[in-house]
Amino acid sequence: MRFKVQARASGRDLTSSATGTRYTLFVGSGVPNDQRPSIITGDSDAVSARSFLLDATQGAITAPDSIARRNYARVIVFFRNGDLVGWREIVVIHR
């Protein structure tokens, strides 16, 4: 999936990490003290920080080939550029 990050006020393209934008993926449970925060709690690591890839140079997100027995999985992409902060939820569905 292609993506683009823009400053709301100016419309400036902030997608590339070369502009100073930094990305963080959240694919865990959100449960405090989660022993494996990089995966969805109680499930396989089909959707994880290793399998859900964000390429800020190309402006592309690649989901894993399989999400195992799940029907869908949610990944939240947080991004920050200086004082500008935002996030988007991406839903990966079984096909």
Residue 30 pLDDT greater than 80, yes or no: no
The answer to the question of residue 36 being in a domain is: yes
The answer to the question of residue 6 being in a domain is: no
Average of per-residue pLDDT values in the chain: 86
Higher pLDDT, 72 or 45: 72
Encode pLDDT of 10-24 as tens digits: 999 999 999 999 999
Domain with 24 in it: 17-93
The answer to the question of residue 12 being in a domain is: no
Quote the DSSP letter at residue 69. Answer: T
Q: Which two tokens stand for residue 53?
A: 């890839």
What's the domain count of the chain? 1
Distances (CA, A) of 36 to 32, 40, 43: 11, 8, 10
The answer to the question of residue 43 being in a domain is: yes
pTM score > 0.95 for this model? no
